[in-house]
Amino acid sequence: MRILVISHQPGADRPVGRLGEWLEQKELTLDHRIGSEKNLPKRIYYSSSDSPDQMSVSKNRVGEGYAGFIINGGQWRLDGSDGGWWLPHIRRLLHQAIYDDIPTLAICLGHQLLAEVIGGTVSDAHGPITADDKDKGAEYGLCSVQLTEAGKYDMLFAGITSPMMMYQNHQNSVTELPDKVEVLAKSDHTPIEALRYGSVIYGLQFHPEVAGDAIYKWDDDKVNQLKSAGYDWQAMVKQSQQGDSLNTMQSHQLGDNFARIIKRRAERT
């Protein structure tokens, strides 16, 4: 079965990081597309086929079939004012995934796009990291994330103990959702860390595809901004080291659970 994976710009060493490797171990095939390279599908629909599957969905238009859908994170503002001209099309693909019940994992920026599509609101901080950002939901490095009661019983988090240790790298966050959406996880700074809409549409503010040691790749400018904003850099490094094994175990389990959700969806067709 095929999964559509959307990144926002070229340069990733592999689609959706280690999460992609775990999904491939479950015999799922990743079709990686990049928004800024103008190669996104025009339309998507549900298909559990192992090979590329296309069908005409309307006059002069072709849809592409997938058993799953993943949207990666990115640095762009949701309104596209800083160059993310492809984001409106990702919103359209999200609408189509919801309509056709395609198991979806929308990560970070993807999570925020999904929240807007289903009627939620997202903060709009941008520019250098400031002390005020922390109070508005910004998080960086390995952070503690707590499952809600709904999250503890959700298939995506089956076998995962709370709290989780998850990699974060976001200035903005989802601030409000309609009542019809389940909030599955929260943290001390971000009240909506994970959500589910319907039965198979998920959003995650955190990054299960990224290991905690990714903070060592941050440039000096970002580290200095964090220090100036009141973040304890040495504590962040220590947290990354101490939480690495738990983070990997929990993230791997989440990936296996998403693969299980994809396969159970196929049983319904």
Q: Residue 209 catalytic?
A: yes
Contact 202, 156 (CB under 8 A): yes
Burial class (CB in 10 A: 0-12, 13-18, 19+), 263: middle
Per the residue annotation, which of 8, 111, 170, 207 is the catalytic one?
207
Continuous H helices in 61-122 = 87-100, 109-117
| Residues 108 and 207 sit within 8 Å (Cβ to Cβ) | yes
Distance CA 37, CA 7 (A): 10
Quick one: three-class SS letters along 144-173? Answer: EEEECHHHHCCHHHCCCCCCEEEEEEECCC
The verdict on whether 108 is a catalytic residue reads: yes
Residues ≥6 apart with Cβ < 8 Å to 249 = none
- Residue 75's CB is within 10 A of a number of other CB atoms, namely 15
The CA distances from residue 51 to 29, 30, 47, in Å, are: 9, 11, 10
Question: Does the annotation mark 21 as catalytic?
Answer: no
Q: Which two tokens stand for residue 125?
A: 């901080």
Catalytic residue among 8, 64, 108, 143: 108
Select which of 64, 139, 193, 209 is catalytic.
209
Residues 16 and 68: their CA atoms lie apart, in Å, by: 13
Structure-block tokens of residue 169: 């790298």
Q: CA–CA separation, 70 vs 26, rounded Å? A: 16
Please check whether residue 43 is in contact with residue 57, taking contact to mean a CB–CB distance below 8 angstroms. yes
Catalytic residue numbers, as ranges: 108, 207, 209
